[in-house]
Structure formats: C-alpha cells, structure tokens
C-alpha cells in the first residue's frame, strides 16, 4: 500500500515537473517563438545601380542571415553572415553584383533568410524567409525643353515648357537653387508647364528640370535662360523716438510676441523680424500650391489694381534700420506700394480664386488671389475687404479698399506678386509687353512645336 502511494507521488512530481518545464519553455524568452522581422526600403523597382537597404531585427538576436538573387543565370548568393554574438537589429546595403547590369531580365527575385538565436524549434531557432520581386528599370527618364522665356532677371519671373518620357515616372519638378518648383500637365500628355522665380535675395541662379522614376533613375535638363542682374535700392532708415513711441508702441500692444517687452528697440526688432517672418510664412504657405490638372493655355492681362496710383515704395528695397547711429535690424520690402486717394477701390484685372481674405499682422487686412499656374497676388493694408475665401473673381471685380491697417504709416496699397511662394517684381506683371514676350508668345510657340511632333 505504501509502495503504491510512493509511486503515485513520484508520478505527480514528474507530472508537475513536466508542467513546469512546459511553462518555462512556453514563457521563457530563451524559447521565444517570434520569427525575425525583415524589411526593405523599396517600392518594387531596382535600377541595378543603387544598393538595396535591408533591415533585420529580432528580440532574441539574429545568429545568421543569407541573401540570394534569382535571375536568368540562376541563383547567386549576395550576402551571408553568421554572428558570434547575436544581433538584435542591423542594416545591410545590398550592392548589385558585378555583371548584373548587363542582364536582360525584366524581373529579379531577392530572397532574404534570417535565423534567430531562440532555442525554439528543437534549438534551431525561428526562421524567416522573405521574397521580394523587383522590376528592373535601368533607363533614365527622357527630358526635353520645348520652349522657355529668353531671360530672367534677379527678382523676376520666367516660363518653361518641357516634356518627360518614362514608363515608371515618379516625379518631375524644376530645381532652382535647391527649391522645387512644381510643373502642371500642359496641352498634351507628357508635356508640362511652370512659372519660375529668381528670389531677389539670391545673387546666383540656375534652373534644371529634374525627372525621377520609381527605380531611382534621375535626369536633369538645364533650362537655358539668359540671366540679367538687377540692382535694388538699399535704404538706410533712422528710427525716431516719435516713431518708436507711436506706431511701434501701438503694434506692440497688438502682437503676442511683444507682450511683456518694454524696451522700444527690442519691440521694433521683434516686430520687424519675428512677426514679419510669421506673416510672410503664412503668405508663402498660401501661395505655394500648384494644381495638378492639365491646362491648355494661360492667359493673363497686365495688372493695375489701383487707378491713377503713385508708386511710394519699390519692390526689393533692402531696408536697414539704425537708432542713434547703431544698426538695429533689416528687412526686404517684397511688394510695390501704391497710393492714390484715401480708401480708394482696389480691382483685379485678372480672374482668379480668393485663397485668403483676413488680417495678417504687419500686412493688415489682406486678400490673396490665385490666378492659376502658381501665380498669386496679395493686397496689403486694406481698410476693408469685399471678398471671402472661396470666391471666384472675374476681371474688373472690386476686392477691397486701400487703408493703413497693419504696419502702414499712411493710406496705401501693398501690392505683391508671388510665383509658387516666391515674391517677384510686380512691375513685370504690370507690363503688357513683358507678358507677351515672356508668357503669351512662349506658350503659343510651344504649342506649334508640340503639334509638329
């Protein structure tokens, strides 16, 4: 009887031990059952020139991996490594093997295998196998300049029309000193049009059409514009105590950036730099949008928003401010100031859509109109605004009245023209001959060239 009890007790101990061992295996990190994670930064295309970026990771650590490539010549091993110390996460740049570029395959299969250091699977670890089917694209996009404006001046605008051919085209744009200018589809499939701008603060200028396909092949085509340097006024302005205690004091009461600041010069510096930058950022954001819809033409008439107006301040004026002989701050005047009678009516000569109509700090009450192709006009310091965001305007519509809202010493209109968020010379767009030579004629001739192709 006692022997039977002892036998039952041993059986129970063995059963408990088995349960404990099973629980240990099930819950222990040593026996974790999650397969390694394999990722690759790729969209399914490969140009056989740039490396493929692979990442492998696992909580218990990778003990080995292997990468192979299957092509018309069979399977080739590209990488193999067995670690002495398991790695939790690492990256691999898979270089295209020599001779691969001459292959005629349209598709290749990349296989990545990884084994972790877990004791699961009878101490063999968890295994992950991932296959990537890659479409081979070795051909760069074909870019051709169809027509462009003859010249561009510093602070000015120009136009370009070009074509791009590529079966896997991903993006196209114009690179100007590091800034991307977007183009719109134009007239027929494969053709594009864009307005360009040379920022007044930049002395150099170079424009290239850039086309990139899904495989990472890139083509750059230089736009042959004649560059015309233009000199802009540099103004030395002495700040008076009357101005600081008057206009600046009033503005300082208005802006949150100057709350708690009592020093008048510091108030001016904050308003002239920080508040201005904030207001200009809003303008640049609002005027940077370009449609992706195809257009067949772009007709624009000369602009003269204020009848019988006098120019009281020019575009591009580099203003440097001094107080008692000491330099305080600086800014560029990025529009044309026009004045006639007080609260004079402001009208637009071109149709467009109102994309902003509200108060904007130093610019006061300010409507902004989109005229298509990334061309925008702004109207600052208005006493009142007659339009709201979303309105569509026709030529001759009244949009506002001049005033002195914001940072204005007297009743006038701050008239600005922007191309994709870059301020340009309003005088060009107020000149019918300039518009004809640089915009209208370029489009007309481009259509003839496209029709002959």
Digit-coded pLDDT (tens) for 241-280: 999 999 999 999 999 999 999 999 999 999 999 999 999 9
Q: Hey, what are 220's tokens?
A: 């750059």
Q: Are 363 and 279 in contact (CB under 8 A)?
A: yes
Q: Taking the mean position of all CA atoms in its chain, how far away is CA 220?
A: 18
Contacts of 216 (CB under 8 A, 6+ apart): 45, 47, 49, 50
Q: What CA–CA distance (Å, rounded) separates 149 from 123?
A: 71
Which ranges of 118-248 would DSSP assign to H, the alpha helix?
241-243
Q: CB–CB of 138/47 below 8 Å? A: yes
pLDDT of residue 42: 87
Assess if CATH 2.70.70.10 describes domain 272-322+329-420.
yes
CATH number, span 142-230+443-452: 2.60.40.10
What does the pLDDT look like over 344-385, one tens digit per residue? 999 999 999 999 999 999 999 999 999 999 999 999 999 999
Please determine whether the domains at 142-230+443-452 and 272-322+329-420 fall in the same fold group of CATH.
no
CB 198 within 8 A of CB 155: yes
Residue 407 neighbours by CB distance under 10 Å: 21
Joined together, the tokens standing for residue 237 give 């302005």
CA-CA-CA-CA torsion sign (434, 435, 439, 441): negative
User: For residue 144, which of 214, 192, 180, 197 has the smallest C-alpha distance?
Assistant: 192
Closest C-alpha to 105, from 127, 76, 130? 76
When pLDDT is averaged across residues 23-36 and rounded to a whole number, the result is: 65
pTM of the model: 0.87
| 406 in Cβ contact with 360 (< 8 Å) | yes
**Per 3-state DSSP, what percentage of the chain is helix, strand, and coil (rounded to 5)?**
20, 45, 35
The Cα 154–Cα 194 span in angstroms is 18
Region 105-116: what's the mean pLDDT? Answer: 91
- Other CB atoms within 10 Å distance of the CB of residue 435: 19
CA atoms within 13 A on the CB side of 368: 24
Tell me how far apart the alpha carbons of residues 426 and 315 are, in angstroms, rounded to a whole number.
7
Q: In the predicted model, what is the mean pLDDT of residues 34-40?
A: 92
Residue 257 CB neighbours (<10 A): 16
State what percent of residues in the chain have pLDDT above 90: 83
| Domain ranges, ordered by start, for the chain | 1-31, 34-136, 142-230+443-452, 272-322+329-420
pLDDT, residue 24, reads 47
How far apart are alpha carbons 395 and 414 in whole angstroms? Answer: 20
Q: pLDDT exceeding 70 applies to what percent of the chain?
A: 93
3-state SS of 254-297?
HCHHHCCCCCHHHHHHHHHHHHHHHHHHHHHHHCCCCCCCCECC
Instruction: Give the closest residue to 368 by CA, choosing from 379, 360, 359.
Output: 379
Closest listed residue to residue 164, CA positions, set 82, 215, 220: 220
Query: What is the model's pLDDT at position 20?
Result: 46
> Is the pLDDT at 27 greater than 70, yes or no?
no
Tokens 């051919």 correspond to: 165
Q: What pLDDT sits at residue 124? A: 77
18, containing H or E segment: helix 2-27
The answer to whether the beta carbons of residues 337 and 313 sit under 8 Å apart is yes
Q: 34-136 — its CATH code?
A: 2.60.40.1940
pLDDT at 8 over 80: no
What are the tokens at 243?
């101005």
Distance in angstroms (rounded) separating the CA atoms of residues 310 and 410? 13
- d(CA 254, CA 232) in angstroms, rounded, equals 32
Angle at 288 between CA 283 and CA 292, to 5 degrees: 150
CA–CA separation, 375 and 355 (whole Å): 12
| Torsion, Cα of 288, 294, 296, 297 (10° steps) | -10
Does residue 209 register a pLDDT over 80?
yes
Least confident residue range of 121-135, 199-213, 284-298, 367-381: 121-135
């Amino acid at each position: 009887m006692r022997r039977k009890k002892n036998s039952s007790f041993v059986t129970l101990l063995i059963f408990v031990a088995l349960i404990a061992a099973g629980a240990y295996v099930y819950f222990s990190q040593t026996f974790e059952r999650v397969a390694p994670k394999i990722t690759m930064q790729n969209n399914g295309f490969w140009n056989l020139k740039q490396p493929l970026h692979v990442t492998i990771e696992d909580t218990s650590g990778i003990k080995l991996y292997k990468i192979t490539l299957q092509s018309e010549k069979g399977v080739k091993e590209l990488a193999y490594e067995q670690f002495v110390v398991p790695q939790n996460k690492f990256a691999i740049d898979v270089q295209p093997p020599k001779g691969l570029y001459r292959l005629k395959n349209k598709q290749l299969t990349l296989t990545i295998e990884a084994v972790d250091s877990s004791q699961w699977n009878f101490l063999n670890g968890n295994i992950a196998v991932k296959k990537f089917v890659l479409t081979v694209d070795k051909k760069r996009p074909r870019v051709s300049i169809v027509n462009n404006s003859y010249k561009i001046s510093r602070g000015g605008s120009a136009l370009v029309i070009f074509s791009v051919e590529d079966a896997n085209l991903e993006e196209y744009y114009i690179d100007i000193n590091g800034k991307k200018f977007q183009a719109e589809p134009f007239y027929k499939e494969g053709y594009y049009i864009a307005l360009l701008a040379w920022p007044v603060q930049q002395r150099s200028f170079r424009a290239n059409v850039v086309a990139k396909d899904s495989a990472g092949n890139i083509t750059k085509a230089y736009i042959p514009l004649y560059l015309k340097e233009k000199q802009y006024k540099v103004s030395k302005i002495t700040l008076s105590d009357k101005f600081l205690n008057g206009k600046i004091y009033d503005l300082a009461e208005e802006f949150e950036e100057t709350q708690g600041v009592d020093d008048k010069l510091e108030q001016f510096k904050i308003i002239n730099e920080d508040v201005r930058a904030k207001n200009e950022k809003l303008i640049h954001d609002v005027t940077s949008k370009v449609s992706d819809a195809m257009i067949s033409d772009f007709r624009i008439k000369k602009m003269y928003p204020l009848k019988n107006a006098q120019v009281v301040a020019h575009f591009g004026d580099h203003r440097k401010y001094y107080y008692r002989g000491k330099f305080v701050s600086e800014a560029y005047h990025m529009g044309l100031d026009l004045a006639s009678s007080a609260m004079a009516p402001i009208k637009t000569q071109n149709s467009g859509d109102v994309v902003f109509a509200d108060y904007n700090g130093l610019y006061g009450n300010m409507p902004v109109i989109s005229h298509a192709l990334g061309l925008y006009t702004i109207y600052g310091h208005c006493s009142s605004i007659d339009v709201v965001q979303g309105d569509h305007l026709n030529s001759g519509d009244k949009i506002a009245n001049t005033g002195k809202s914001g940072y204005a010493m007297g009743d006038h209109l701050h008239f600005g023209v922007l191309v994709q968020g870059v301020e340009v010379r309003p005088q060009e767009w107020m000149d019918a001959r300039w518009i004809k030579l640089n915009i209208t004629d370029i489009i007309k001739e481009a259509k003839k060239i496209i029709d002959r192709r």
